[in-house]
Chains A and B, each alone.
Chain A
């Protein structure tokens, strides 16, 4: 079982729709969770981090964490073509970040 698992996609949504990206993790002791966006050929950039159960909103982005079910998700409202990228989930495991493989998101105009 992978430590941090994401559906590789591609996930295709129409412009203006809500994109939902999911991530599951195996370590119940994980305390910190991060979402990074990576455009093709570029390095990752931080979108959001979340430490507590529940939702955390930042503009069009909402991170949702459910530690009991060991999943963290990222919702992107009003998706734009510029949101097309690979989204990496990263989970703290014993003081180190373990990255998922990433979900490729494609927002169609």
Chain B
């Protein structure tokens, strides 16, 4: 199956700083990646769809200037949380669908636990 490598696994940062999360496809080329956020005891929420070589598509309520997504190559998508605040503390997960469609079986990265102090 598709292997999605996500780094870092966890990160602690101070309020006001920025954090970059990387998601790499190791054995396939991903034109589309999906970024999720999961707060404790809550469901996965789709934040944005990352498209190689073009702008990301953000879900309603997600600030595109705060959560910067870059998908410059077929094997790397990055999410940068800018000017992080404690309320941004969450579990961030990228995923890939072999069909490129969201309503298909998804392969998830290992996730990044972000804690903002």
Instruction: List residues of A whose CB falls within 8 A of some B CB.
Output: 4, 8, 31-32, 34, 41-46, 49, 88, 90, 92, 95-97, 99-102
Contacts and interface: CB of A to CB of B under 8 A. Distances in A.
A101 B45 CA distance: 10
B43 A97 contact: no
Interface in B39-77: 41-46
Contacts of B43: 4, 88, 99-102
A32 B44 CA distance: 17
Interface in B96-117: 101-111, 113
Interface residues of B, number: 20
Question: Interface majority SS on B: helix, strand, loop or mixed?
Answer: loop
Given A43-B93, A43-B109, A43-B111, A96 B103 contact: yes
Nearest to B6: A43
A97 B105 CA distance: 10
A19 B111 CA distance: 27
Given A32-B104, A46-B106, A95-B103, 13 more contacts: A4-B43, A42-B110, A42-B111, A43-B93, A43-B108, A44-B93, A49-B105, A92-B103, A97-B102, A97-B103, A100-B43, A101-B41, A102-B43
Interface of B: 6, 41-46, 93, 101-111, 113
A32 B105 CA distance: 9
Pick the most buried of A45, A46, A97, A101: most chain B CB atoms within 10 A of its CB: A97
A102 B110 CA distance: 18
A80 B104 CA distance: 28
Contacts of A92: 103
A12 to B, nearest CB: 17
For the complex of A and B, 4 pairs with smallest distance between CB atoms? A92-B103, A43-B108, A43-B111, A99-B44
Contact of B46 (A31, A34, A41, A96): A96
